[in-house]
Chains A and B, each alone.
Chain A
Amino acid sequence: MKCENMINLMMDYLYNEIKANDKEKLMKHMSECEKCRKEFIKLQDTSLVLQKMEDVDPNLNLVFVQEETSFWGTLRERLTFSPKKLVYGFGYGFAAIMLLLSIINTELSIKDGEFSLKMSLLGKGNEQVADETKDNFKYSDQAQLAQMQQQNINLMKSLIQESENRQRQQLISTLSQFSRDIDFQRTNDLKIMNAGLTEIEKSVYSKLEQKTNTQFNSLIHYINSQQGNR
């Protein structure tokens, strides 16, 4: 085996980290190679010289204490931005604004049975929308267009009429229900008042009866005593 291949084995052997079979290989090689034998002794001597260096006392006595930061200190620390933080902050802020704008200016519509979703960063003015709508409905034949417009008007009128009727009916039904409720409430109130009055009447009558009896009794008693005196 070549001498160069012995380097790692020499290191392992010098620091007692060599495996048994490797040690055998190294020993065999060194017994045959004087150069490697001398080399190893030199390495060993150098290591021995190095071992003469003693540890030094650091005299440090490091002691760590719990960090106590004030409210303002914590706030200041949180508000101190590194350039990296600032870049990320601006990036996230920009992305958030873009997202917010796109959500605000989202148009959701159902046209001719087709569902459509439009997202844009800047909102479109009413005029633009109107123009676009007009463009979408280009007809070559003006008469046909007029006819369709008339049909649309009629359709709208009938829809409005129907809607008005429905609303009127709903109003009538609500009012009649309200009237029924008022009636029912009034009847209940009258019943309660009647019962209350009857109760008062009974109570007043019995009190009057008691008082009258007492008066009569005292009068009779007085008359009897007058007759006795005579």
Chain B
Amino acid sequence: MTDAQLIEKFLAGEISSFNTLVWRWEKRIFNFIFRYMGDYEISKDVCQKVFIKVYKNLKHLKSRDKFQSWIYQISANLCKDELKSMKRRASLSIDTIQENNSEGNYNLVEQDRGQPDENLNNVELQELIKRALQEIPEEQRVVIIMKEYQGLKFVEIAETLGEPLNTVKSRMYYGLNALRKVFDRWNITKEVLRYEM
């Protein structure tokens, strides 16, 4: 059954169809949010907010076949809002500022890692990539996540974000370049990762 059919059934009063829709999208949306936010628990909260918003507003979605771009739009907006409020909260608390001092965190990463070609296990790698994504501007990050992990086409990303196609491609390009610089700084190369190429 397609998403559009599930939506129709849900709007006709069948709640189980909505739960099927949630089950189908939950993991994808959560991982999108997790890569955007970089925090597991916060991402869970935001993910719940996304589905609650979807539940409440699905009746207003005119084109049923636009569900994918609509749900990503909601997710991206909620992530943006959440980051904004987190920054606002952090600026109110000196303690929080000290705790979230990004420079300190990454120095710690570099200190912990020591030699780049030694002991880089999968858990560390996951953490480093996640942190690297937090290093680049949000507008580039969202495009990279949608392209690299969600597998959206550039046209779909442009539609979701409401940006011109060329803008999306150039954000992708500059985002990849920015990430490369972060990886270079942390000495993460394909050789270190022992790619099978």
Interface size class of A (residues with CB under 8 A): 20 to 34
Task: Tell me whether A15 and B31 are in contact (CB under 8 A).
Answer: no
**Is the beta-carbon distance between A8 and B27 smaller than 8 angstroms?**
no
Q: Report whether A47 and B148 are in contact in the complex, using a CB–CB cutoff of 8 Å.
A: yes
Minimum distance in angstroms from A59 CB to a CB of chain B: 8
CB contact under 8 A between A51 and B148, given known A42-B180, A60-B44, A62-B48: yes
B11 at the A/B interface (Cβ < 8 Å)?
no
**A84 surroundings in chain B (CB, below 8 A):** none
Is A60 a contact partner of B15 (Cβ separation < 8 A)?
A: no
Q: Does B106 contact A (CB under 8 A)?
A: no
Chain B 172-186 residues near chain A, CB threshold 8 A? 172-173, 176-177, 179-180, 183
Among A12, A43, A52, A54, the one with the most B-chain Cβ atoms within 10 Å of its Cβ is A52
Q: Are A57 and B126 in contact (CB under 8 A)?
A: no
Is the beta-carbon distance between B169 and A60 smaller than 8 angstroms? Answer: no
A53 is contacted by which of B149, B170, B172, B177 (Cβ under 8 Å)? B149
Say yes or no: A11 contacts B173, CB within 8 Å.
Answer: yes
Decide yes or no whether A26 CB sits under 8 A from chain B.
no
CB pair B31 A45 closer than 8 Å = no
Task: Tell me whether B129 and A56 are in contact (CB under 8 A).
Answer: no
CA A4 – CA B46 in complex, angstroms?
A: 38
Size bracket of the B interface:
35 or more
Is A64 in contact with B47, judged by CB distance below 8 angstroms?
Answer: no
Evaluate contact between A48 and B190: CB separation under 8 angstroms: yes
Residue in contact with A64 in the complex, picked from B15, B43, B126, B176, CB distance below 8 Å: B15
A47-B176, A49-B183, A62-B22 known; A56 and B40 CB under 8 Å? Answer: yes
Min Cβ gap A127→B in Å is 59
* Interface pair A66/B126, CB less than 8 Å apart: no
Return the CB mask of B39-60 against A: 1 if under 8 Å, else 0: 0100110011001000100000
A-B interface contact total, Cβ < 8 Å:
99
Docked-complex contact A63 and B169, CB < 8 angstroms = no
Contact of A17 among B30, B35, B154 (CB under 8 A): B154
Render B105-146 as a binary contact track against A, CB cut-off 8 A, 1 for contact.
Answer: 000000000000000000001100110000000000000100
What mask results when residues 124 to 149 of chain A are scored 1 for a CB within 8 Å of chain B, else 0? 00000000000000000000000000
> Smallest distance from the beta carbon of A36 to chain B beta carbons, Å?
12
Q: Within the assembled complex, what's the spacing in Å between the Cα atoms of A60 and B27? A: 9
Contact (Cβ within 8 A) B129 A53? yes
User: For the complex, what is the distance from the CA of A54 to the CA of B127, rounded to whole Å?
Assistant: 10
| B35, closest chain A residue (CB) | A53
Q: Given A46-B179, A53-B130, A64-B18 in contact, is the A58-B169 Cβ separation under 8 Å?
A: no
With A17-B154, A46-B183 known as contacts, the answer to whether A52 contacts B15 (CB < 8 A) is no
Is the pair A48, B15 in contact by a Cβ cutoff of 8 Å? no
A46 to B34, CA, bound (A): 20
Q: Which of B19, B22, B43, B188 is within 8 Å of A49, CB to CB?
A: B188
B15 and A58 form a contact (CB under 8 A): no
Of all chain B residues, the one with the shortest Cβ separation from A43 is: B176
- Docked-complex contact B176 and A58, CB < 8 angstroms: no
Q: How far is the CB of B168 from chain A (nearest CB, A)?
A: 9
Please determine whether B47 and A58 come into contact, CB atoms closer than 8 angstroms. Answer: yes
Is there a chain B Cβ closer than 8 Å to A65's Cβ?
A: yes
Contact present for A53 and B126 (CB under 8 Å): yes
**In the complex, A64→B172 CA distance in Å?**
36
Given contacts A12-B154, A15-B154, contact A60 B173 (CB under 8 A): no
Does A55 have its Cβ within 8 Å of any Cβ on chain B? yes
Decide: A63 and B30 in contact? CB cutoff 8 A: no
- Chain A residue numbers with a CB within 8 Å of B40 are 56
Give every chain B residue within 8 A of A57 (Cβ-Cβ): 27
Residue picked from A51, A54, A56, A58, most chain B C-beta under 10 Å: A58
Residues of A whose CB lies within 8 Å of any CB of B are: 7-8, 10-12, 15, 17, 42-43, 45-60, 62-66
Supply 15 A–B pairs (Cβ within 8 Å), ascending by A.
A7-B169, A7-B173, A10-B173, A11-B172, A43-B176, A46-B176, A49-B129, A52-B125, A52-B126, A53-B125, A58-B26, A58-B47, A63-B19, A64-B19, A66-B15
